[in-house]
Chain A
Amino acid sequence: MKRALAFGLLAIVMGAGAAQAAGPKVGIGPYGGYNIALIQQDTGNGAVYGIRAPINLIPLITVEPYYASSNLGNVDETFGGLSYTRTGFDMKAFGATAILGSLGGGGLKFYPYAGIGSYKLERTGSEEIKETGYNFGLGIGIPAGPKISVQARGGLDMIVTGDTSRKFANATIGINYNLMSGK
């Protein structure tokens, strides 16, 4: 047990040392996809797009600042025989995501991710929602060239609003371009 712990600590120290020696890996990439409003009867689904900048400082973790924007769809309902439309939210978010592993280099990569951000939801006739949100999910990285990879992700965004939350399942696809390869 002690030997395993010692080997583990040695591996982490060596890994961190190697990363420092190699320098950070920095990428950037746009992405787009679709948000599905979960258990929300007052707003629809809609496209999401944004930009991410993964920074890999140590071998095990990549930190990825992001910005996202989503135009959620309208809700159409009929009451008393009359049709009504409620405009969906415009959602904007920025924050950072932690990814297990790195996005660039090597072959096909599967990775879990989790993050935290500031979310703002606006629409006419509603008080602005500006709250902390969380995101988590799974991603796949597919190499598409020496410096480029395709990133496909499926996850959940959850904006905490007091005792409740607004949740969105999402699927996105984007590219990651390595600005600094760490060599």
Chain B
Amino acid sequence: MKNLRWIVPALLLAVAAPGCVLVSGQFLIDFNLPNFDASTDTAVSREDVDLTTESDYQDHKNDLKGLSDVAVLGKITNSGAADIGVEIWMTAAGTTYSTPTQVTTNGTKLWGPFNLSAGATKQVGWDESAKLFSSTGKALLINEIKGDGQFTIYAIANAGTYSFNVDDGVLALVIDFGK
């Protein structure tokens, strides 16, 4: 029986060897967004995201393997007269689009719609937010996270005219890393 005691360490080595999956984990990185107002009366609201400014991202950048979970969080107020669905769009490169049409024509829908009735204020739930990501947007986001970590996001609404504001916005990313 003692001769067979190598089985457990051997199995450990076999499991650890391919890609060293033992030395891996899921890290939460939150990127704070400034408070902003979005309205069809003004140019679309955008934010240039640079994940390289986040120390956790920098610490694990070379070991990034993927995106495990993602959420757009914050408190959104619909200050307009119509019900709206708030959406987040993104472009891989830094862009400066000024109209919703430019954004939806050239960008990729990342998240939404987060439905909000006229005059309502609602805090986006983490679970609720995670469900609102589009698969194509998530794929693009993963590419950017594994790439230079820099991209532009736009906040618009799926209505002809809209007006809303976002307070305490956060882009929360749970990133897979492995040695």
* Partner-B contacts on A (CB < 8 A): 8, 38-42, 60-61, 77, 79-82, 84-87, 98, 100-101, 112-114, 123-126, 134, 136, 158, 160-167
Contact = CB atoms under 8 A, between A and B. Distances in A.
Given A41-B174, A84-B126, A79 B168 contact: yes
Contacts of A166: 26
Nearest to A112: B8
Interface string B94-116: 00000000000000000000000
Contacts of B177: 164
A161 B176 contact: yes
Interface of B is mostly: strand
Among A80, A134, A162, the one with the most B-chain Cβ atoms within 10 Å of its Cβ is: A80
A162 B66 contact: yes
B28 A77 contact: yes
Contacts of B8: 112-114, 136
19 contacts: A38-B25, A40-B25, A42-B69, A42-B174, A61-B4, A79-B73, A84-B172, A85-B125, A85-B126, A85-B127, A86-B71, A114-B7, A114-B11, A125-B71, A125-B131, A134-B11, A134-B15, A158-B22, A164-B177
Contacts of A60: 1, 4
B129 interface: yes
Given A84-B73, A114-B11, A164 B169 contact: no
A163 B12 contact: no
Contact of A100 (B5, B172, B176): B5
B168 to A, nearest CB: 3
Among A39, A84, A87, the one with the most B-chain Cβ atoms within 10 Å of its Cβ is: A84
Interface of B: 1, 3-5, 7-8, 11-12, 15, 19, 21-22, 24-28, 30, 32, 65-66, 68-69, 71, 73-75, 123, 125-131, 167-170, 172, 174, 176-178
B168 A82 contact: yes
A82 B19 contact: no
B1 A100 contact: yes
B65 A164 contact: yes
B126 A162 contact: no
Contacts of B167: 80
Q: Nearest 9 pairs between A and B by C-beta? A: A125-B130, A39-B25, A80-B168, A164-B24, A41-B28, A79-B170, A125-B131, A164-B178, A165-B21
A22 B168 CA distance: 70
Given A42-B28, A165-B21, 11 more contacts: A42-B68, A80-B169, A82-B73, A82-B75, A136-B11, A158-B22, A162-B176, A163-B21, A163-B24, A163-B176, A165-B22
